[in-house]
Amino acid sequence: MSQPPELEGYKLTPEQEKRRRMRSWAIAGGLAFLVVLFYIIAVVKVTGSAGHGG
Amino acid sequence: MTDVGLQLDQQAGTEVGVSSASVGDYIALLKPRVMSLVVFTSIVGLVLAPGGLHPALAVVAILAIAVGAGASGALNMWYDADIDAVMSRTANRPVPAGRVTPGEALGFGLALSLFSVMTLGLATNWFAGAFLAFTIFFYAVIYTMWLKRWTPQNIVIGGAAGAFPPMVGWAAVTGGVSLESFLLFAMIFVWTPPHFWALALVKSEDYRRAGVPMLPNVAGPAATRRQIVLYSVILAPLGVAPALTGMASPVYGVIAAAAGLAFLWLAWRLLRRSEGKPATKAAWQLFGYSIFYLFGLYAALLADHVIRHLPGAA
């Protein structure tokens, strides 16, 4: 039985690959930053409430 | 890679759903220069507000307001891509230049709007969060989608969006608004028309091509110059008002009065020089000075407040 011909997909140029990689890093950095940000907000809010007897 | 090569790749990539946008293109969607003014004015609102906010939460609040401003910039660029494409000043923005698709800009703007409002609400209070949401809505919907293409008073009413940030900063601390925070709003609100009309006088051909009914295109340059003087007459004393309400010291009042007189003089000179290169130069000078004026006034308010609250100050 003969194999179907392999479909040729769209190949990213080196420039497009580089830009996609940079976008991925930026999204990862943004998400990590948000995690730290919400951690800080939580810590400050909790310690603030504890300080006020809440 | 050459620009032409990159453009061909962009076209081919767009056809199969591959983005050619760089991180810098997404940063450009946030309108960083507008954002810097928003950050600065909201810092002033936050610092001048009575009461206190934990320094870490204050930084988070400023960040959230900045991102909210950026989000409304992205939404503006999504909706205005057709206008931006025909104006020399904006033709190379990421959406009209084809580096970011309208859908990407819309998704980016909506996601950042949501994150910024939620973050401000969680970090400070939900009044401030709701106020930021309203500010984004006002800029993206009321100004961009409605006023901008409909009336020559677009930037008069729409200017409120740019004037809200110090009130949002104030609300982040106090959970509400007050006469003082309204004064901070009013200073930017009245400053906006002469600032943008000075630019519109120079770029009126761009606005005409784009079909945006700016005042110089609808009422003519002479009427625009008169309106600029009128708003400057209101703005100059308004800049001094914080010293009269006890929000700032008399030293601030003197600085604001001098800066306001200079603003008036430049507006008056623009009124008198209505032809040729001197007219264009006068418009550019007022436009440039107006940026310096607003930054200077808010910087003076900030410095005045800090000095008066130094330990040992009377």
**Interchain CB distance below 8 Å, A41 and B18:** no
Tell me, what DSSP letter sits at residue B150? T
Rounded to two decimals, the pTM is 0.88
Q: Do A20 and B19 touch (CB under 8 A)?
A: yes
- The residue written with tokens 């309106």 in the block is B227
Token pair recorded at residue B305: 């407040």
Task: Say whether pLDDT at A6 is over 80.
Answer: no
CA distance B188 to chain A (A): 30
**Cβ contact B69:B193 at 8 Å:** no
Q: Which residues of B touch A22 (CB under 8 A)?
A: 22-23
- Segment holding B196, helix H or strand E: helix B179-202
pLDDT at B16 over 70: no
According to DSSP, residue B219 is labeled T
Taking CB atoms and an 8 Å limit, are B119 and A13 in contact across chains?
A: no
Single-letter residue type at A42: A
A12, B18: Cβ pair inside 8 Å?
Answer: yes
- Residue B314: the pLDDT is 58
The answer on pLDDT for A54 being more than 70 is: no
| Residues in Cβ contact with B169 at an 8 Å cutoff, skipping those fewer than 6 apart | B41, B42, B43, B44, B45, B46, B47, B49, B61, B62, B65
User: Out of 3.50.50.60, 3.30.720.120, 1.10.357.140, 3.40.30.10, which CATH number does the structure's domain B22-177 have?
Assistant: 1.10.357.140
Question: Has the ipTM of the complex gone over 0.90?
Answer: no
Question: What residues of chain B have any CB closer than 8 angstroms to a CB in chain A?
Answer: 1, 6, 9, 12-13, 16, 18-23, 26, 54, 56-57, 60, 63, 115, 119, 122-123
**Which span out of B96-100, B150-154, B185-189 was modeled with the highest average pLDDT?**
B185-189
Residues B56-60, mean pLDDT to the nearest whole number: 96
Between CA B73 and CA B303 the distance in angstroms is 29
Q: Where are the alpha helices (DSSP H) in B245-313?
A: 250-272, 276-308
Mean pLDDT of B90-114: 95
Q: Counting every residue, how long is chain A?
A: 54
**Mean pLDDT lowest among A42-51, B178-187, B239-248, B255-264:** A42-51
Give the alpha-carbon dihedral of B290, B295, B298, B302, to 10 degrees: -160
Tabulate helix, strand, coil % of chain B (nearest 5).
Answer: 80, 0, 20
E strand residue ranges, B161-279: none
Nearest residue to B116 via CA among B94, B142, B96, B140: B140
Nearest Cα to Cα of residue B267 among B280, B282, B288: B282
Please report which confidence band the pLDDT of residue B1 belongs to, taking 50, 70 and 90 as the band edges. Answer: very low
Amino acid symbol at B7? Q
Residue B11 pLDDT level (bands cut at 50, 70, 90)? low
Number of CB pairs < 8 Å for A and B? 49
Taking an 8 Å cut-off on Cβ atoms, the answer to whether B57 and A23 are in contact is: no
Structure-block tokens of residue A27:
């999204």
Token output for B20: 């050619």
Across A10-26, average pLDDT: 90
Q: Residue B21: is its pLDDT beyond 60?
A: yes
Separation between Cα atoms, residue B195 and residue B187, nearest integer Å: 12
Q: Which two tokens stand for residue B302?
A: 């900030």
| The one-letter amino acid at A34 | L
